[in-house]
Amino acid sequence: MIGNDVVDLVLAKTESNWRRKGYLDKLYTTWEQTIIKKSVHPDEMVWVLWSIKESVYKAYQRIEYNEGFYPIKIEVQSLENDGDGYNSTTALFGILFYGQTTIKDGIVHTVVVQYKSDLEKIKRLPVTNYKKNKKGLPIHVHTGAPVSVSHHGRSTIVVGLDYNNL
């Protein structure tokens, strides 16, 4: 399974005040809040962690379709800066997801997969290459393979896994 999320940092800065009282407590675990507070760039780290959580939520929808959203239950367990971005491991309801996050030109982009080996199979697709299935989940317009779509501000990104003949 695959999920992706994009955050336009310029737009996020105008849309949300994450520093208001109680905001972090509703969305982030104690460990995640510590990462944010210790970060050299806390405004960016808030959205890196959010992007990871949103990506995991989207991937999980392919395993167990559920309309609720529960960011505090999506637990980032590891986050490593690899120089080009971040590698993460995140858990939701006992299922692990592996992710890669990049930040380029003020855009945070995360892709997560259920199997670590699938990180090598991620393929970015043209934004016209998807449609929605009966549950409203995106699929490849020609093959019917699961894809993930994300849009925020200046960026729209569609990704899939290349073993699905995309």
pLDDT at 166: 58
By residue range, what is the domain housing residue 61?
2-118
Examine residue 54 and state whether it is found in any structural domain, yes or no: yes
CA distance 129 to 103: 24
pLDDT tens digit sequence for 122-139: 999 999 989 999 988 999
pTM: 0.94
Examine residue 150 and state whether it is found in any structural domain, yes or no: no
Question: How many distinct helices (H) and strands (E) make up the chain?
Answer: 4, 10
Give 127: exposed, middle or buried? Use CB within 10 Å, 0-12, 13-18, 19+: exposed
pLDDT at 165: 61
Examine residue 144 and state whether it is found in any structural domain, yes or no: no
Examine residue 109 and state whether it is found in any structural domain, yes or no: yes
CA distance 136 to 58: 12
Task: List, for the chain, all residue ranges whose pLDDT scores fall below the cut of 50.
Answer: none
Domain count for the chain, please give it: 1
Examine residue 17 and state whether it is found in any structural domain, yes or no: yes
CATH number of the domain where residue 14 is located: 3.90.470.20
Examine residue 147 and state whether it is found in any structural domain, yes or no: no
Examine residue 58 and state whether it is found in any structural domain, yes or no: yes
**Residue-wise DSSP of 50-86:** HHHHHHHHHHHHHHS------GGGSEEEEEEE-SSEE
Examine residue 72 and state whether it is found in any structural domain, yes or no: yes
